[in-house]
Amino acid sequence: MDIGGRIKKYRKKAGLTQEQLAKKTTISLSAIGKYEIGERTPKYETLEEIAKALEATLDELLGLNAKQINLSHIPTIQLIEELNSRDDFPIEIQWKVGE
């Protein structure tokens, strides 16, 4: 699902019409419609405003829900190396072979 689909999903979950979402934000009704059909992509600041109005998180609207990430196909050593290389992952993981 793309970002527009997630905006629509969380808007409906909040029980709002596009017009009601527009009134809760500074975003035009037209822009909300275009986001939902994928004709336009909201800027980060706009997405923050939409998330707040929908009582959703940015991660949810961006599709970054950890429950949806399937790591089973990534070799363990590759996953460890990737996590260790990231600035936003505060734990260093060590891999010991043969112990």
pLDDT, tens digit (0-9, with 9 covering 90-100), for 54-69: 999 888 888 875 555 5
Whole-model pTM: value is 0.65
Q: Kindly give the residue spans of alpha helices, DSSP state H, lying in the chain.
A: 3-13, 18-24, 29-36, 44-54, 58-62, 76-85
Percent of the chain whose pLDDT exceeds 70? 80
pLDDT band at 98 (very low <50, low <70, confident <90, very high): low
The closest alpha carbon to 41, from 20, 13, 61, belongs to 61
pLDDT band at 23 (very low <50, low <70, confident <90, very high): very high
User: Does pLDDT of 4 surpass 60?
Assistant: yes
Pick the CATH number of 3-66 from 3.40.50.1580, 1.10.260.40, 3.10.20.600, 3.40.50.300: 1.10.260.40
